[in-house]
């Protein structure tokens, strides 16, 4: 594959995984986490022959939050397993497409399954998959799988797995609210945290531009023309905004297309293929594309709408500046979103000057703060008044 030395996360995670230890690993986006668990676990599977040739028991299960990440991880594992001394069958299953071809592909079992939780449970319910032989479990983008959106499905999957197994968690971030869940999931884990060193940090120039909400699309067009950008990933807050912004850009003569969860899997894969091939100038997407999607040499990411959290900000801008390439990440900050932007800056330890572009200076006033009695002298009862009122009662 043209790789001659392990990345820091690989150098630390591979020996631990080969010892069959549980692993809890945090490393920056683009640091090589997929190979960090794929290589040692394939080595373990090759080292222990299957007990039967009649039906392949699933020995390695990799859970991921999105279909795109499932395809990507499945391709890596399939590529690595192709020429191993012991042939290993890799199956990738995810929702949004017909379940029947996936059921047919699973006849006779599989050594490795890469899956999104919902489709995996569908296949279990239809007796197409059995999980009682799983020896190794990987949660890729584990913080997403452990949060409330996937918690119920994940608990159902865990109940079907043997208690004696190796579990590995990999993610670029772990929110505090999921750390307790992660700790319960692992047994004496090897905790690995790889910080992005200055020499290893993605080469991303981050900017924040103040702009009125109504002027964001004209500003985007202006920046694309001024900088001659030809491949831009634009993040918005909702699926409706994907369609709306993409349509406005297309009408203005920019080849733009939406990318969101309501599209069929075939349509989504086609958009990614065409975007990577340079057939689209702009892909407008939700946070669906903020994780696990690797577009080589992607030059620009735009936060048309600010992300809901600082964690999502990290994952979004991590789509650019990959594999040593330079990238630009630009955030549009409307007056209504100014307080939220300050919070993101604080949590990400960012110090970005809020720029203004000539002709697009904001004129809208920020919203008035919500009414509150806190901190306003005389608006709340003093302790003496409360005691006096209690005495009157």
pTM: predicted TM-score of the whole model, two decimal places? 0.65
C-beta separation of 164 from 134 below 8 A: no
CB atoms within 10 A of CB 122: 18
Q: 25 forms bridges with which residues in the sheet?
A: 170, 192
Taking only the tens place, the pLDDT of each residue in 154-185 is 999 999 999 999 999 998 877 776 788 888 88
Burial of 111 (0-12, 13-18, 19+ CB in 10 A): buried
Chain centroid to CA 300: 18
- Convert the pLDDT of each residue in 260-285 to its tens digit: 888 887 888 889 889 988 889 999 99
Query: In the chain, what are the domains?
Result: 8-193 (3.40.50.300), 203-355 (3.40.50.300)
- 140: nearest Cα among 95, 92, 180: 92
Q: Which among 16, 89, 94 has a CA at the least distance from the CA of 55?
A: 89
**Mean predicted lDDT score pLDDT of the chain:** 86
* pLDDT tens string 18-74: 999 999 998 877 788 999 999 999 999 988 776 655 678 999 999 998 888 898 899
**Residue 323: pLDDT band with limits 50, 70, 90:** low
Residues in Cβ contact with 145 at an 8 Å cutoff, skipping those fewer than 6 apart: 63, 64, 65, 117, 139, 154
pLDDT higher than 70, residue 10? yes
Nearest one of 66, 74, 126, 139 to 100, comparing CA atoms: 126
Query: Residue holding tokens 């735009």?
Result: 302
- Contact predicate 115/145, CB 8 Å: no
Residues 6+ apart with CB under 8 A from 233: 282, 283, 285, 289, 295, 298, 300, 301, 302, 319, 320
Q: Is the dihedral of CA 6, 11, 17, 18 positive or negative?
A: positive
């Amino acid at each position: 594959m043209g790789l001659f030395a392990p990345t820091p996360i690989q150098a630390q995670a591979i020996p631990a995984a080969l010892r069959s230890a549980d692993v809890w690993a945090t490393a920056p986006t683009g640091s090589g986490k997929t190979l960090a668990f794929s290589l040692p676990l394939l080595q373990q599977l090759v080292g222990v022959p299957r007990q039967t040739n009649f039906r392949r028991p699933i020995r390695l299960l990799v859970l991921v939050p999105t279909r795109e990440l499932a395809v990507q991880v499945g391709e890596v594992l399939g590529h690595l397993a192709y020429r191993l001394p012991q042939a290993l069958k890799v199956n990738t299953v995810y929702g949004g497409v017909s379940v029947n071809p996936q059921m047919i592909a699973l006849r006779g079992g599989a050594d490795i399954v890469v899956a999104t939780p919902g489709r995996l449970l569908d296949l279990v319910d239809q007796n197409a998959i059995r999980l009682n032989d799983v020896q190794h479990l990987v949660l890729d983008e584990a913080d997403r799988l452990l949060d409330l959106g996937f918690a119920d499905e994940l608990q159902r999957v865990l109940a079907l797995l043997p208690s004696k197994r190796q579990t590995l968690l990999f993610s670029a971030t772990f929110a505090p609210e999921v750390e307790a869940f992660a700790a319960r999931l692992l047994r004496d884990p090897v905790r690995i945290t790889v910080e992005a060193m200055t020499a290893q940090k993605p080469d991303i120039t981050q900017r924040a531009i103040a702009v009125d909400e109504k002027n964001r699309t004209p500003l985007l067009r202006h920046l694309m023309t001024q900088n001659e950008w030809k491949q831009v990933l634009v993040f918005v807050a909702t699926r409706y905004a994907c369609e709306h912004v993409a349509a406005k850009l297309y009408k203005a003569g920019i080849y733009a297309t939406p990318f969101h969860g309501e599209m069929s899997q075939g349509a989504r894969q086609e958009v990614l293929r065409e975007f990577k091939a340079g057939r689209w100038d702009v892909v407008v997407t939700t946070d669906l594309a903020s994780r696990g999607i690797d577009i080589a040499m992607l030059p620009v990411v735009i936060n048309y709408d600010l992300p809901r959290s600082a964690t999502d900000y990290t994952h979004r801008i991590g789509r650019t500046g990959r594999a040593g390439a330079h990238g630009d990440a630009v955030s549009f900050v409307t007056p209504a979103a100014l307080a939220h932007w300050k919070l993101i800056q604080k949590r990400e330890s960012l110090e970005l000057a809020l720029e203004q572009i000539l002709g697009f200076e904001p004129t809208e006033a920020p919203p008035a703060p919500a009414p509150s009695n806190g901190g306003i002298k005389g608006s709340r009862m003093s302790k003496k008044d409360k005691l006096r009122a209690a005495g009157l009662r």
